[in-house]
């Protein structure tokens, strides 16, 4: 069991709080029993389990006893430092970052994140995208790192169930979408086509922009339509993840879900 903050393995673990070190090590953390189980259920293999036996629940102890993966044990104090939750469940797992690019993305319905900086929003978008069965999530440069702990946690396992690609430039996404026959459609708080009246028959990539600034100019210019969710109650705008979820499910309904 590691008891010192100066331990090299613990130092590497702490570095994973920062995106540059996640890229450098090619790893990200999933914290909590449910997330680890979600990863395993989606056929992801942990590089290493991180456990603190005194913090494990009975169900956690039973689960860990069944898993034959490399393991690193920490004291409760070090586990609290390494984790990102207020109360540690005593278990995390290291997973390898997905090594995929746009060529691995397919399906008739995609999500594109343009300037989504809030980890909770990004995670919720991945959660909704996973639930709706999208073919992938594409995150442009300027969006929050999809491997960040708060994003992974907010995705509720979505990070394991759908492919995702980070650090993309608007131009390469536009060119790729045109080549693959996707219509780019963006969300707009007002002035667009009411989302329940749009024709969702074609292959579509829904572009979700920053709540304050919207979709960037290069991607916006490439969009064939802007969709608006009517708000007769007078609300200024909807949360980005909520709005995207409504559109994704409207597309599924239109296609005969």
For residue 5, the model assigns a pLDDT of 94
User: Which CATH code for domain 102-254?
Assistant: 3.40.1280.10
| pLDDT at residue number 257 | 77
Sheet containing 204-209: give its strands across: 164-168, 137-140, 109-114, 204-209, 183-187, 225-228, 193-194
Rounded to whole angstroms, the Cα distance separating 133 from 162 reads 8
Question: How large a percentage of the chain has pLDDT more than 70?
Answer: 100
Joined together, the tokens standing for residue 202 give 């074609």
Q: How many CA atoms lie within 13 A of 231 on its CB side?
A: 17
Token duo for residue 141: 């440069």
Q: Do the domains spanning 8-96 and 102-254 agree at the CATH topology level? A: no
φ, ψ of residue 191 to 5 degrees: the values are 90, -5
Q: What is the pLDDT of residue 110?
A: 98
Question: In the chain, which residues have pLDDT < 70?
Answer: none
Residue written as tokens 């590089």? 47
Q: Which residue has the tokens 């690019």?
A: 101
Strands of the sheet with 48-51, listed across from one edge: 27-31, 91-96, 48-51, 71-73
Which SS3 state, helix, strand or coil, does residue 233 take? coil
Given this model, what pLDDT does residue 49 score?
A: 97
Residue 234: predicted pLDDT: 78
DSSP bridge pairs for 227? 187, 193
pLDDT tens digits along 115-144 = 999 999 999 999 999 999 999 999 999 999
Query: What pLDDT, on a 0 to 100 scale, did the predictor assign at position 6?
Result: 95
Q: Which CATH class is domain 8-96?
A: alpha beta
Contact residues for 214 (Cβ-Cβ < 8 A; gap 6+): 186, 188, 220
Segment 48-57, tens digit of pLDDT: 999 999 999 9
Domain ranges of the chain: 8-96, 102-254
- Six-digit token pair at 101? 């690019």
Tell me which H or E stretch contains 194: strand 193-194
> In the prediction, which pLDDT does 236 show?
75
Query: Which pair of structure tokens corresponds to residue 146?
Result: 């999809």
**251 within 8 A of 131, measured Cβ to Cβ:** no
Please give the pLDDT value at position 238: 84
Residue 213 pLDDT: 81
Radius of gyration for the alpha carbons in the chain, expressed in angstroms and rounded:
20
């Amino acid at each position: 069991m590691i008891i010192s903050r100066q331990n090299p393995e613990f130092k590497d673990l702490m570095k994973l709080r920062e995106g540059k070190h996640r890229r450098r090590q090619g790893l990200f953390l999933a914290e909590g029993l449910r997330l680890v189980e979600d990863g395993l259920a989606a056929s992801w293999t942990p590089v290493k389990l991180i456990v603190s036996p005194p913090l494990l629940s009975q169900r956690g102890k039973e689960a860990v006893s069944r898993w034959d993966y490399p393991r690193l044990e920490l004291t409760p104090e070090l586990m609290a430092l390494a984790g990102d939750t207020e109360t540690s469940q005593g278990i995390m797992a290291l997973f390898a970052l997905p090594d995929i690019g746009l060529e691995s993305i397919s399906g008739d319905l995609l999500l594109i994140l343009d300037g989504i900086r809030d980890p909770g929003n990004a995670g919720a978008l991945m959660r909704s995208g996973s639930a709706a069965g999208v073919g992938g999530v594409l995150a442009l440069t300027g969006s929050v790192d999809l491997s960040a702990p708060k994003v992974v946690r907010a995705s509720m396992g979505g990070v394991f169930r759908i492919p995702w690609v980070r650090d993309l430039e608007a131009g390469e996404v536009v060119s790729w979408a045109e080549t693959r026959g996707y219509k780019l459609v963006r969300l707009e708080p007002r002035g667009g086509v009411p989302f329940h009246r749009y024709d969702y028959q074609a292959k579509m990539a829904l572009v979700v922009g920053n709540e304050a600034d919207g979709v960037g100019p290069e991607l916006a210019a490439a969009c064939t339509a802007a969709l608006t969710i009517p708000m007769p109650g007078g609300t200024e705008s909807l949360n980005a993840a909520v709005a995207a979820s409504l559109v994704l499910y409207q597309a599924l309904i239109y296609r005969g879900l």
